[in-house]
Chains A and B, each alone.
Chain A
Amino acid sequence: MGRLILLAALAVALVIAALVRNTAARHIALAPLVAVLVAVATFALAIRPLGLVVATIIACIALNIPGLRGRIGESVIAVIFGVVVVVAATILADLPVGLWPRLGGL
């Protein structure tokens, strides 16, 4: 266990050192990165209890929040397109994925 912790600590140190050097050498877009992180994490958490449609809507909204100012129309179109594409793929491929919230299962 001790060796594993040491190994993990070494890995973390290497990653931090690499990130510091990397960040200095190139531009890392933090706001889009956080938006993608929040969007995908929300999708993963919401997909089972809330279904595909609601999870996709939440994820698309989360992704579009950073640049929302003055681009509300664009963001609404993005959300609508995102939902339409995944729902169409589910229906066309006849996939066993719950589209709507499981009201009885909560």
Chain B
Amino acid sequence: MEAFADLNEGFKVMLSQYNFVYCALAACLGAFLAYLPGLSSPVVIALAFGFAFGMPPTTAIIVLVALCVGAQFGRSAAAVHRARGDAAYAEGDASLAPIAIAALLSGAVVAIVAAAVMPLAIAALPSLGAAEITAFIIAFLALAAALAPRSVVRAVAAIVIGGLISIMGSEIDAAVQVLSFGNLELPDGIGFLSLLIGVLVIPGVVGAYAGSTVTAQATAEPRTPPTRRRTGEYPTIVTATAANAGLSASFLPLLTLGLPAAVVAPMFLWMLTIHGILPGPRVATRMPEVLHGLFAAIIVANGVLLLVMLLAERLFARVQRLNVRVLATVVLAFACFGVYTENNSPFDVALMLTYGIASYLLFTSDYERYLLLLAFLFGPLLHENIRRFSAGGDMGAIISSPIAVMLIAAGAILVAAIGAWRMESRKTNAAGR
């Protein structure tokens, strides 16, 4: 019953201060942009991210959640559209409403379950100190690198580069400049927006132009011939439902533990941080309206998308015919504009370009790019906590905390298990050939 009471509070939050209007608009914008050919959902969220900057914390989180839900839906709907073919839509013989209904149901169920589980998860968490947080971050990043789908070495490199970029700037306590190379702009540190857009959007634009599969899978995938039997759509609807439920569920570890379990998590973490909210058990006690609003936003955004699908489905389906080159040009112009207007600084645009080119050349998957962004966000937190527990420069102090030792040991065991499993599967694959 407590879950329903929390959701009720969430709907109250949703109905105040135009939150509902923002939520509906953000869901539609996210779905529309992700439905466009050649734009992946992280690129969509990175582009629209700047809109939520100046909003109050609860509204900003609601907008971001609605954007994520909309983008996830748009991506799933575009996949189903491709499976059916354009002709089915032109003849009015196909509908995207089943995906919207499936997304609404899965999102609502997971939101209710998450709202019920959240208080239990928070009560079960022990109070964590600097050593425990350090151990947790190290174990988490090691685990994330071990799970890299392609190259573990590249994943580790992404984490190291992200961590190094995060500590660039001025060390306020010690009044020294770190990795600023005498540059006049770098002592202010690196802005997250230029890094985010550079790392995610620039490779997307290059990929869209080249027709490659960096983030422009929609343009590169061959379209299936028109079909009225819709044989390929059911697996896609199931996948869409699972992806939507997974997105909703990923907010639980993110908010209770600060554990980024979704690809959009770096953006969420940053948004929470700039509003002074440290993800963790204290969010529920200090800013309960953020939690309640978040779970209500998942349900409202899915409901709005279902309405949109019922009312304007054909219009939506025509979006797939837009020209990728035109879209890529608009996206790049908007990316440059967005990064420049953050500080009115051409230097930020140059930084975005540098990160973008490096990201395109050095990384082969979006997973590695997310790891870089995660390391960038965790870097200052790790730096701060290492300084707190090793006041005398003694890193061995981490062993004095049993929880920290357990966390590191658990991380090491999991990394070793994943490594052994990867080697085993590689041997099996080699033997199969």
Q: Which residues of A contact B (CB under 8 A)?
A: 15, 18-19, 22, 26-29, 31-33, 35-37, 39-41, 43-45, 47-48, 52, 56, 59-60, 63-64, 66-67, 71, 74-75, 77-79, 81-83, 85-86, 89-90, 95-97
Question: Are A40 and B340 in contact (CB-based, < 8 A)?
Answer: no
With contacts A26-B364, A78-B325, A97-B340 taken as known, whether A36 is within 8 angstroms of B332 at the C-beta atoms is: yes
Bound: A30/B356 CA distance, A: 14
Question: Are A43 and B334 in contact (CB-based, < 8 A)?
Answer: no
With a cutoff of 8 Å between Cβ atoms, the chain A residues found around residue B205 in the complex are: 32, 36
Bound: A59/B325 CA distance, A: 14
Q: Cβ of B177 < 8 Å from any Cβ of A?
A: no
Bound: A83/B336 CA distance, A: 12
Bound: A43/B361 CA distance, A: 22
Q: Would you give 21 A-B contacts (Cβ < 8 Å), ordered by A? A: A19-B362, A28-B361, A29-B210, A33-B206, A35-B209, A36-B202, A36-B206, A40-B202, A41-B353, A43-B336, A56-B333, A56-B336, A60-B332, A60-B333, A63-B209, A67-B209, A78-B323, A82-B330, A86-B333, A86-B334, A97-B340
Question: Are B325 and A64 in contact (CB-based, < 8 A)?
Answer: yes
Q: Cβ of B352 < 8 Å from any Cβ of A?
A: yes
Within 8 A of A (CB), among B274-312: none
With a cutoff of 8 Å between Cβ atoms, the chain A residues found around residue B210 in the complex are: 27, 29, 31-32
Query: Which residue of A26, A28, A40 is within 8 Å of B336 (Cβ)?
Result: A40
5 nearest CB pairs, A to B: A29-B210, A82-B333, A32-B209, A78-B329, A44-B349
Query: Which residue of B207, B209, B340 is within 8 Å of A47 (Cβ)?
Result: B340
Q: Cβ of B326 < 8 Å from any Cβ of A?
A: yes
Question: Are A33 and B357 in contact (CB-based, < 8 A)?
Answer: yes
Bound: A103/B329 CA distance, A: 28
Q: Cβ of B95 < 8 Å from any Cβ of A?
A: no
Question: Are B334 and A89 in contact (CB-based, < 8 A)?
Answer: yes
Query: Which residue of A31, A43, A81, A90 is within 8 Å of B330 (Cβ)?
Result: A81
Q: Which residues of B contact A (CB under 8 A)?
A: 202, 205-207, 209-210, 212, 323, 325-326, 328-330, 332-334, 336-337, 340-341, 344, 346-347, 349-350, 352-353, 356-357, 360-362, 364
**What secondary structure prevails in chain B residues at the interface with A?**
helix
CB distance from B159 to the nearest CB of A (A): 15
Question: Are A32 and B206 in contact (CB-based, < 8 A)?
Answer: yes
Residue of B nearest to A42 (CB): B336
With a cutoff of 8 Å between Cβ atoms, the chain A residues found around residue B336 in the complex are: 40, 43-44, 56, 59
Residue of B nearest to A28 (CB): B361
With a cutoff of 8 Å between Cβ atoms, the chain B residues found around residue A39 in the complex are: 332
Bound: A22/B202 CA distance, A: 18
Question: Are B349 and A40 in contact (CB-based, < 8 A)?
Answer: yes
With a cutoff of 8 Å between Cβ atoms, the chain A residues found around residue B356 in the complex are: 36, 40
Question: Are B332 and A74 in contact (CB-based, < 8 A)?
Answer: no
With a cutoff of 8 Å between Cβ atoms, the chain B residues found around residue A59 in the complex are: 332-333, 336
Question: Are B352 and A81 in contact (CB-based, < 8 A)?
Answer: no
Question: Are B330 and A85 in contact (CB-based, < 8 A)?
Answer: yes
Query: Which residue of A40, A44, A95 is within 8 Å of B332 (Cβ)?
Result: A40
With a cutoff of 8 Å between Cβ atoms, the chain A residues found around residue B202 in the complex are: 36, 40
Residue of A nearest to B337 (CB): A86
With a cutoff of 8 Å between Cβ atoms, the chain A residues found around residue B209 in the complex are: 29, 32, 35-36, 63, 66-67
Bound: A55/B357 CA distance, A: 20
Query: Which residue of A15, A44, A75, A85 is within 8 Å of B333 (Cβ)?
Result: A85
Residue of B nearest to A39 (CB): B332
Bound: A48/B361 CA distance, A: 29
Residue of B nearest to A57 (CB): B333
Bound: A14/B422 CA distance, A: 25
With a cutoff of 8 Å between Cβ atoms, the chain B residues found around residue A28 in the complex are: 360-361
CB distance from B202 to the nearest CB of A (A): 6
Question: Are B346 and A40 in contact (CB-based, < 8 A)?
Answer: no
With contacts A15-B362, A29-B210, A78-B325 taken as known, whether A37 is within 8 angstroms of B333 at the C-beta atoms is: no
Bound: A86/B330 CA distance, A: 9
